[in-house]
């Protein structure tokens, strides 16, 4: 993991893909790329909205985002989706 930053109930995580386990050789090209995502912990009460997370972003050639800049800049523009199973905890 390259970085983790936090602001309130949100976390930004970035790192480098060091291993890809797949039967699809096309995904093997992800190894060595930087990656990042953002998650939001909306609490654990029965009335709390679901936690949310973005998809994973990848630093393909030409990308202006790096894992480090993702954590530093803490962007919120990416679309987040509800977490269907599990419980994100930002501490």
Q: Give the up-direction half-sphere exposure of residue 15: CA atoms within 13 A in the CB hemisphere.
A: 9
Per-residue pLDDT of the chain (91 residues; tens, 9 = 90+): 899 999 999 999 999 999 999 999 999 999 999 999 999 999 988 889 999 999 999 999 999 999 999 999 999 876 788 888 778 888 8
């Amino acid at each position: 993991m390259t970085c983790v930053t936090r602001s309130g109930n949100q976390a930004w995580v970035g790192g480098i893909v060091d291993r890809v386990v797949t039967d699809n050789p096309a995904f093997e090209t992800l190894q060595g790329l930087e990656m990042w995502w953002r998650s939001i912990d909306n609490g654990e009460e029965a009335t709390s909205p679901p936690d949310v997370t973005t998809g994973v972003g990848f630093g393909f050639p030409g990308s202006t985002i790096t894992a480090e800049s993702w954590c530093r800049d803490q962007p919120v523009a990416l679309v987040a989706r509800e977490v269907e199973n599990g419980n994100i905890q930002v501490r």
